[in-house]
């Protein structure tokens, strides 16, 4: 992609199982693209200060975290030959992650998420808030392992002007992992709308084929009882997709506040890893 990058993947960690799985994803990507990795732990000083009574306890927590991160960095470096950095910061998790990634031109963020349900889904998890603020690609991982890489990539296509921007990323990943890209779109009972979405999908197919990427194109039936996000997640489960590639929603309306945006629904509810691409201004081009 034609953008500035420090060739470094930012990996937030709290040492949980899901964070460890995200780190495994980052290791596989770093091996494939010759990236470095930065492990990031964020300490909420207000929380520890209130629970344990002062900055001394906070410093003890940071010291323990630093020791654990040093051991983890050494293990990754020795086992995989990847250069690993570590840093500890304080503040609101999603704000710290996105600020560091944006201001320091990180290549991407790969982070774990437990998802969100009920009130948490309405308010927004750290993952869904991070993808709103981050200007770099964010891969959100739950329990699915990385395996041999992202061999089967699911790319939903719609009529939004930004939808086709993710094609460049699909090509970028497919060439590295020898992936098969599954282009999916939702049919419509309205003939004019249906013709437009088919034309958009055909244009995506043409770009994939022109770049030598294997692909399959599937029309998802327009079901009145299911929204497109649900259909995409069902399709991912059915086809055992390794990655869903979506654009980040930057506009949030009243309905989105209640149900969550299309991207947030997928990030919060999908078991399949999701890569979220921040849309660029009109005129942004890709170097395929």
Domain ranges of the chain: 1-145, 148-288
Residue 256: what pLDDT?
Answer: 41
Please say whether the beta carbons of 273 and 25 come within 8 A.
yes
Tokens of 271: 């078991």
Residue 2: what pLDDT?
Answer: 63
The CATH topology of domain 1-145 is Rossmann fold (3.40.50)
Torsion angle of alpha carbons 261, 262, 268, 269, nearest 10°?
A: 140
Residue 24: what pLDDT?
Answer: 97
CA distances from 38 to 94, 111, 221, 238 (A): 16, 12, 42, 34
Tokens of 170: 């699909």
Residue 226: what pLDDT?
Answer: 65
Residue 161: what pLDDT?
Answer: 74
Same fold, 1-145 and 148-288: yes
Residuewise pLDDT in 10s, the chain (288 residues): 567 899 999 999 999 999 999 999 999 999 999 999 999 999 865 555 555 555 666 778 888 899 999 999 999 999 999 999 999 998 889 999 999 999 999 999 999 998 655 444 444 478 888 998 999 999 999 999 999 999 999 999 988 877 778 999 999 999 999 999 999 998 888 899 999 999 999 999 999 999 999 999 999 887 655 688 999 999 999 999 999 999 987 544 433 433 457 888 899 899 999 999 988 764 444 443
Question: Rounded to two decimals, what is the model's pTM?
Answer: 0.88
Residue 223: what pLDDT?
Answer: 66
Residue 252: what pLDDT?
Answer: 45
DSSP state of 249: P
φ, ψ for residue 9 (rounded to 5)? -95, 130
Architecture of domain 148-288: 3-Layer(aba) Sandwich (3.40)
- At which residue do the structure tokens 């889904």 appear? 121
Residue 263: what pLDDT?
Answer: 87
Residue 46: what pLDDT?
Answer: 53
Residue 253: what pLDDT?
Answer: 42
Please say whether the beta carbons of 92 and 125 come within 8 A.
no
Please say whether the beta carbons of 271 and 112 come within 8 A.
no
The Cα 131–Cα 113 span in angstroms is: 12
Neighbouring CB atoms inside 10 A of 23's CB total: 26
């Amino acid at each position: 992609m034609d953008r500035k990058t420090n060739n470094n993947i930012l990996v937030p960690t709290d040492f949980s199982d899901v964070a460890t799985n995200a780190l495994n994803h980052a290791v596989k990507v770093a091996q494939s693209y010759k990236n470095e990795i930065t492990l990031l732990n964020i300490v909420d000083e207000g929380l520890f200060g209130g629970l344990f009574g002062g900055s001394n306890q906070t410093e003890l927590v940071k010291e323990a975290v630093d020791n654990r991160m040093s051991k983890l960095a050494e293990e990754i470096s020795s086992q995989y030959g990847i250069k690993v950095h570590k840093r500890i910061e304080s503040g609101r998790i999603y704000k710290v992650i996105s600020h560091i990634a944006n201001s320091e031109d990180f290549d991407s963020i790969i982070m774990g998420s437990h998802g969100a349900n009920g009130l948490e889904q309405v308010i927004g998890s750290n993952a869904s808030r991070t993808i709103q603020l981050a200007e770099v690609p964010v891969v959100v991982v739950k329990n699915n392992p990385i395996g041999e890489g992202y061999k089967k990539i699911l790319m939903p296509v719609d009529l939004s002007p930004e939808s086709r921007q993710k094609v460049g990323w699909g090509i970028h990943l497919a060439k590295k992992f020898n992936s098969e890209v599954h282009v999916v779109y939702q049919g419509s009972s309205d003939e004019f709308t249906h013709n437009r979405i088919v034309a958009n999908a055909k244009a995506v197919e043409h770009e994939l084929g022109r770049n030598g990427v294997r692909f399959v194109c599937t029309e998802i039936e327009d079901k009145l009882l299911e929204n497109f996000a649900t259909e995409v997640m069902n399709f991912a489960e059915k086809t055992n997709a390794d990655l869903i590639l979506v654009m980040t929603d930057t506009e949030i309306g009243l309905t989105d506040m209640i149900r969550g945006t299309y991207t947030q629904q997928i990030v919060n509810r999908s078991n399949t890893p999701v890569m979220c691409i921040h849309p660029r201004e009109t005129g942004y081009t890709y170097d395929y």
